[in-house]
Amino acid sequence: MRVLLVEDYQPLARALTQGLREAGYAVDAIADGRQGLALAQTNAYDALVLDVMVPEVDGLAILRRVRATGSNAGVVIITARDQLPDRIAGLDLGADDYLVKPFALDELLARLRAVIRRRYQATTAVVTLGDLVIDSAARAVKRAGKPVTLSAREFALLEYLALRRGQIVTRTEIWEHVYDFAAEPSSNVVDVYVGYLRRKLGDGEPGTRRLIRTHRGLGYSLDAEGGV
């Protein structure tokens, strides 16, 4: 899942970026509201984490402009202002959630999961596909009852495919939602990671059903029914 963080206080921005990346998110962090707005309008972020008081264009203005373009990215406002009118203004502008500084990193992560699930019309953190169980909250994956250990990026890839299960997901979409600007672009990096994931899940091994299907020239899909 790819997240845009707009926060001008560098120590906080650095810590949140690290925390989010380690939780498997692709994170673009920016301190300036104008650049933040430009990024939000040109990239398919799953969620925006916006500080209200940032230079040039404030967080609420970014939210308004982004919503005006029809974006349905999940938006979590983080702010030091905890007055009721501030919260109401944020939520009325289309924020999905509101966190008052200081907050627990776990709470930010939980709320991000929630707003991203909502975006993909999922209701719980646990997705079950056949014998595959993906728990976004615990960041745990089980295949046929056995735990599977995934890297952060592998998990992010699986999570994205699971949220869009049954749909064909293009390589570009995967790239946009799983990788941030810090990742080195590479033509086949998506295919490489899909390969890693399949291997760890034991997908396609004898006695198992293939969950991740390749659609030649289109992309990949994750289906409970499986296939070849």
Partner 1 sequence: MSRSLRVRMTASLLVVLILALGMLSIVVHQVVSRALVKQLDAQLADDASAVAGMAEDEGAAVEFEYESLPDFERPQRPAYFQAWLDDGQVLGRSPSLQGRALPRPSPNGGALTYAWLTLPDGRPGRAVGLRQPLRIEDAGPGSARQSARYVTVAVAQGTETLDAALGTVRRWLALWVGITMIAASLAVVLSVSRGLRATRDVAARVAQIDAAKPGPFLRTGHLPDELAPLVEKVNELLARIEASFARERRFTADVSHELRTPLAALRAMVEVALRRPRQPADYAAAIAEMGDVVGQMQSLCENLLALARLDAGAVPVRLEPVALRPLVDDCWRPFQPLATERGLTFTNALDPAAHATTDRDHLRIIVSNLLSNAASYTAGGGSVVVRAGLTTLLQVDDSGPAIPADILPHLFDRFVRGDAVRGAGVHCGIGLALARGLGDVLRLALSVENTGDGGVSFQVRAAGAGPAA
**Which residues are near partner 1 by CB under 8 A?**
8-12, 14-16, 18-19, 22, 31-32, 53-56, 58, 78, 80-81, 83, 100-106
Residue 33 vs 219, nearer CB to partner 1: 33
Query: At its nearest, how many Å lie between partner 1 and the CB of residue 70?
Result: 28
Query: At its nearest, how many Å lie between partner 1 and the CB of residue 24?
Result: 12
Query: At its nearest, how many Å lie between partner 1 and the CB of residue 227?
Result: 37
Query: At its nearest, how many Å lie between partner 1 and the CB of residue 22?
Result: 6
Q: Minimal CA–CA distance to 62: which of 83, 27, 35?
A: 35
Angle, CA 60 vertex, CA 58 and CA 65 arms, to 5° = 95
Compute φ and ψ for 55, nearest 5 degrees.
-65, 160
CA distance 210 to 228: 6
Angle, CA 37 vertex, CA 73 and CA 120 arms, to 5° = 5
Residue 83 vs 172, nearer CB to partner 1: 83
Provide the β-strand partners of residue 219.
Answer: 170, 215
Sign of the CA dihedral with 25 first, then 52, 34, and 37 last? positive
Residue 89 vs 105, nearer CB to partner 1: 105
Residue 81 vs 165, nearer CB to partner 1: 81
Query: At its nearest, how many Å lie between partner 1 and the CB of residue 140?
Result: 15
Q: Annotate 127-160 with three-state secondary structure.
A: EEECCEEEECCCCEEEECCEEECCCHHHHHHHHH
CA distance 115 to 73: 8
User: Tokens 């921005």 label which residue?
Assistant: 13
Residue 108 vs 122, nearer CB to partner 1: 108
Q: Tell me the one-letter amino acid at 84.
A: L
Query: At its nearest, how many Å lie between partner 1 and the CB of residue 108?
Result: 8
Tell me the residue length of the chain.
228
Residue 105 vs 133, nearer CB to partner 1: 105
